[in-house]
A and B are shown apart, each in its own frame.
Chain A
Amino acid sequence: MSERRIKWSYMDHWRSNGPAGPVDQWHSHRTMSAFLKQIKAVGFDAIDTFDFRLWQMYGDYGGPAGYQQMVQDHGLERIVNTFHAADYDLRDYAPHVPETHERILEDFRVTMGHWSVIQLDNIIVMPATLYYDMEPVTADKLKITAELWNQVGEITAGYGVRLTCHHEFFCGIQSEPDIDTFYAYTDPRYVSLFVDTAQHCIASVDPVALYRRHAHRVSGFHFKDTRDVATGDDHRHRPDSEIMAPTTGKWFYEMGTPHGLVDFEAMMTAVRDNEYRGWISVEHDKANKDGGDFSEATAVARWYAANVLEEIYR
């Protein structure tokens, strides 16, 4: 068998039904084990996780290395990426507000220290605040933001980890021109692009074209689907767009869903054409909404990867 050029990682959103209601996999060692077994059973090679789980890693597994050991004990290779979900706030943590930069830089110095015991590929960030906290999105603000991430990227590069940006449809940098401007301002050595197929699609940006244009900057993917494009003020809905937009109660679906808007075959073809090698992360955020189910969504998504996408490129 020829060497695989693509491996599949699972971004660890997860819920299962416990005796007292829905729980996540961090609920107990038992639920974590059941989660990892299921991920492994359908053929994922590794997982991605969130920074805010660090405390549970320390509390329950002795830290990131201990947790990665738990992952490996279930036959998975390792933790590939982490998502740094920050609480953006104009007062103290906002990439387009220079006064807050020192705090953000310090946050990354501390965070990377925690992760230094294992080897990650990427630390993923949403590069801007919520849209309504950044608008109007000006070239100046984009430039200030880019400068911040250049510095953060330098810090993470010191740990051998790439800083990569994930553009939520509701964040300040989500339109095609703003994304292009942002990458023009950032240093390719320090700032990469992480293509989330659904988020771009919701923001009316063609993820395939975006990827083809910036392929040399791309350090990873979230493959997930959506059935809806944001309309009107969906991307700037107060207080929240992700769960509370009036038009849409559930934005995200696993790939392979009927009526999905992402053209994954075209995406995979582009991945092949660019000779991308490495990890693709599968994500389906909030799969349990509206009667959905994480186990099933994960199996169906992995089926799609095995039966449709790997036919194109593997």
Chain B
Amino acid sequence: MAWSKWSYMDHWVTETPQGPQPPSFNRAHMDRYVKQLSALGFRGFDTFFFYLPMLAGMYGSVPAFERFLQDNGFDKITGIFSAYPYATRYTAPHVRETHDRIFADCEATVRAVDGLSVENFIVMPSTTYFQVEPVTEEKIKVMADLWNRVGRMTLEHGMKTTCHFEFWGAIRTREQLDLFFSHTDPELVFFFCDTAQHTIAGVDPVQMFRDYRDRCTGFHFKDTHTVDEHEAYRTPPDPELMAPEVTRWFYEMGTDGGLVDFPALMREIVASGYDGWLTVEHDKAELGGGSYAEATCVAKWYIDNVLAEVSR
């Protein structure tokens, strides 16, 4: 039986008369977007916290949007992504004084989906590396404390707080990851495995999954062609879009030059008995003339034609 719980992480860009825009541009574009994902057979939908008010505006409410998804063959909204990529005096996970504010924001987001059965509350546990360094155990512990606290709260709302580590975040090496997980409560804080981000940071995502299987609640299946060898991760002002050596970090599954061994990961996932969602993501697919629709097709093709063989 092929894996059926595939969800899509909402990074899409669509052509509008006002230029390339996210589908939240207007209701008609959002409808078209959902139909395209539906045609490919995705059953879960992940989105960003900041889209929730827009979805509510377009469909009347977030539950009404979820019903629209269900009318198009989806099961539900599966994950909500929340992040503070950039430290400010108001929000910075490594600064304890900002924790009350972050906690309150997270609570507001979680409340916005009360009554649905969203499973994951996905967070970037830190801001950019260069705003945190030197990265000390003490700072990692401060961040861990925050997410323990948030994790307890989200569980009360039926969602697991699960941590997604950017290659340019302050928790990026295997040692830092292990330290962070050792300071967080396995009952409260979970692991979200982004295959490309770990690979860029020089961490083996398959090994990460193997080692944190019991805490893993989700994946971003995306690929990369490059390991960060120029310390782009700590280069201000921004490593993700502005790294001098690399113009595009992320690719969909199934491109030439991809570094992630997806079949190996898939075998590992199947063997482990993991039964959660697998999420497809491709960030910035339009760079170099690409298109999200096409990248999503190629990735789903890869799932149905390559990964399906592995998971059979």
Which A positions have Cβ atoms within 8 angstroms of B? 289-292
Contacts and interface: CB of A to CB of B under 8 A. Distances in A.
A290 B248 CA distance: 13
A38 B289 CA distance: 23
Contacts of B289: 289-292
Interface in B232-289: 286-289
A249 B207 CA distance: 36
B57 interface: no
Interface centre among B286, B289, B290 (most CB of A within 10 A): B289
Contacts of A290: 288-289
Interface residues of B, number: 5
Interface of B: 286-290
Nearest to A293: B289
Contacts of A289: 289
Nearest to B17: A19
7 tightest Cβ-Cβ pairs between the two chains A and B: A291-B289, A290-B289, A291-B288, A290-B288, A291-B287, A289-B289, A291-B286
A290 B247 CA distance: 13
B217 to A, nearest CB: 35
Nearest to B287: A291
Contacts of B288: 290-291
Given A289-B289, A291-B289, A291-B290, 6 more contacts: A290-B288, A290-B289, A291-B286, A291-B287, A291-B288, A292-B289
A290 B288 CA distance: 5
A292 B289 CA distance: 7
A40 to B, nearest CB: 25
Contacts of A291: 286-290
A291 B288 CA distance: 5
Nearest to A290: B289
B112 to A, nearest CB: 36
A128 to B, nearest CB: 32
A290 B289 CA distance: 4
A223 B288 CA distance: 24
A131 to B, nearest CB: 27
A290 B286 CA distance: 10
Nearest to A292: B289
A35 B236 CA distance: 40
A291 B286 CA distance: 8
Contacts of B287: 291
Contacts of A292: 289
9 contacts: A289-B289, A290-B288, A290-B289, A291-B286, A291-B287, A291-B288, A291-B289, A291-B290, A292-B289
Nearest to A17: B15
A173 B41 CA distance: 53
A290 B287 CA distance: 8
B188 to A, nearest CB: 43
A247 to B, nearest CB: 13
Contacts of B290: 291
Contacts of B286: 291
A292 B288 CA distance: 8
A289 B290 CA distance: 10
A291 B295 CA distance: 14
A288 to B, nearest CB: 8
A291 B290 CA distance: 7
A54 to B, nearest CB: 32
Nearest to B286: A291
A228 to B, nearest CB: 16
Nearest to A250: B289
B255 to A, nearest CB: 13
A308 B286 CA distance: 32
A289 B289 CA distance: 7
A290 to B, nearest CB: 5
A292 B287 CA distance: 10
A172 B287 CA distance: 36
A252 to B, nearest CB: 15
Nearest to A289: B289
B232 to A, nearest CB: 18
B118 to A, nearest CB: 35
A22 to B, nearest CB: 12
B289 to A, nearest CB: 3
Nearest to B289: A291
A257 to B, nearest CB: 13
A99 to B, nearest CB: 44
A164 B286 CA distance: 40
A210 B286 CA distance: 40
A8 to B, nearest CB: 28
A291 B285 CA distance: 11
